[in-house]
Amino acid sequence: MVRRSPPSSSRAFKACKNCKYLVPIHETQCPNCGSTEFVEEWTGMIIILSPEKSRVAKALGITKPGRYALQLGPT
């Protein structure tokens, strides 16, 4: 019997190359910016609930609520 670990968050989501928004792996277009270019290797995740109130969102240039990758590419 072979045991497999559950997929990591980086395998369940891919990141938009344009805005770093995280979308499920099966999506073909970013709902945040409309881009169709994604990367499957990313690190760090931030969830923004209220971008208008968040200093972190302002520092990162995030204007819409959602889940974002902090860094794109291999770790």
CATH of the domain at 17: 2.20.28.90
Q: Is residue 1 one of the residues assigned to a domain? A: no
Max Cα-Cα span within the chain: 50
Structural domain span for residue 24: 9-72
Per-residue confidence (pLDDT) for residue 75, from 0 to 100: 61
CA distance 50 to 43: 22
Q: Is residue 47 one of the residues assigned to a domain? A: yes
CA distance 15 to 5: 22
Average pLDDT in the 8-32 region? 89
- pLDDT tens, position by position, 55-66: 999 999 999 999
pLDDT band at 45; cut points 50, 70, 90: very high
Structural domains counted in the chain: 1
> Which residue intervals of 4-60 are DSSP H helices?
9-12, 55-60
Predicted TM-score of the model (pTM): 0.81
pLDDT band at 43; cut points 50, 70, 90: very high
Q: Is residue 4 one of the residues assigned to a domain? A: no
